[in-house]
Amino acid sequence: MATRGLAILPVEGLGEIGPGDVLAEALAAAAQPEPGLRDGDVVVVTSKVISKAEHRLVRLAPGGPDVRELVERESVRVLRRRGDLLIAETAHGFVCANAGVDVSNVDRGWAALLPLDADRSARRIRDGLRGLLAVEVAVVVSDTFGRPWRRGVTDVALGCAGIGPILDLRGSLDSFGRALQATEIALADELAAAADLVMGKASGIGAAVVRGVEAGWLRQGSIRAEVVRHPGEDLFR
């Protein structure tokens, strides 16, 4: 699976996305002329952009719920609680801070919820770009999660289309000819992390293109079906 190298390219000029915007159209326009979109590119889009387009913004109190109420509403299981911070499981099965409820990069007085079905959002963008530009791209929807044991946050994938989120190397041979064990590489998460390096939380770049991935990685895929770990096989839930 060696490749001759990847390029990670920001999609600048996406601009502010609002409720009902067609993301494939916005992305198609913003990606021209640079970096462009080519067959085999992976387009990484932040979930915040998806949430704005898909009416997942909620007006806060007064007149609506406060953040704490929203977090409780979005949580199906609370794993840890410290002060105002909850580590909670969402209906999708994601485990993250405040069940994904986030007030950064949205208008004051509003909060963003996670997309209802980020795999579906990714498929829509992929299909839209195929229709608009006649390109066959993969799409990854990313978000920024903390993790236990290590400081700092990294981007992971909440949804994908046109790419397998897990590359299963079990049974492949290592460089000594021995079968690799338990090596299922979380490709979509690594692509999300790579894309974050060119996005930047403060600069409002909501999408990036990863160019040069292996053709063998491109297949139907789903984060929810392949990456979310079932509670029964999870040692930390």
Map the footprint of a second copy across residues 133-152, applying CB under 8 A: 144, 147-152
The interface with a second copy within residues 175-194 (CB under 8 A) comprises: 175-176, 178, 180-187, 189-191, 193-194
Q: In the 8-state DSSP scheme, what is residue 115?
A: P
Q: What one-letter code names the amino acid at 59? A: R
Rounded to an integer, what distance in angstroms lies between the CA atom of residue 228 and that of residue 234? 10
- The one-letter code for the residue type at 32 is Q
Smaller CB separation from a second copy, 25 or 190: 190
Name the minimum Å distance from CB 129 to a second copy.
20
155 lines the binding site for a second copy (CB under 8 A): yes
CA dihedral sign, ordered 180, 230, 42, 135: positive
Query: Is there a contact between 214 and 1 (Cβ–Cβ < 8 Å)?
Result: yes
Minimum CB distance to a second copy, residue 27 (Å): 17
Window 61 to 80, contacts with a second copy (CB under 8 A): 79-80
Cα distances from 187 to residues 89, 143, 146, 168, 226, in angstroms, run 22, 15, 18, 10, 11
Based on the shown chain and the rule CB under 8 A, indicate whether residue 7 belongs to the binding site for a second copy. yes
Q: Does 115 bind a second copy (CB under 8 A)?
A: no
Residue 32 touching a second copy (CB under 8 A)? no
Nearest Cα neighbor of 2 from 221, 217, 149 is: 217
Decide if residue 154 touches a second copy (CB under 8 A).
yes
Which residue in the set 67, 116, 153, 218 belongs to the binding site for a second copy (CB under 8 A)? Answer: 153
**Shortest reach from residue 99's CB to a second copy, in Å:** 13
The binder of a second copy chosen from 20, 33, 82, 232 (CB under 8 A): 82
Q: Max Cα separation, the chain?
A: 64
Q: Does 215 bind a second copy (CB under 8 A)?
A: no
Distance in Å, CB of 131 to a second copy, minimum: 27
Give SS3 for 79: strand
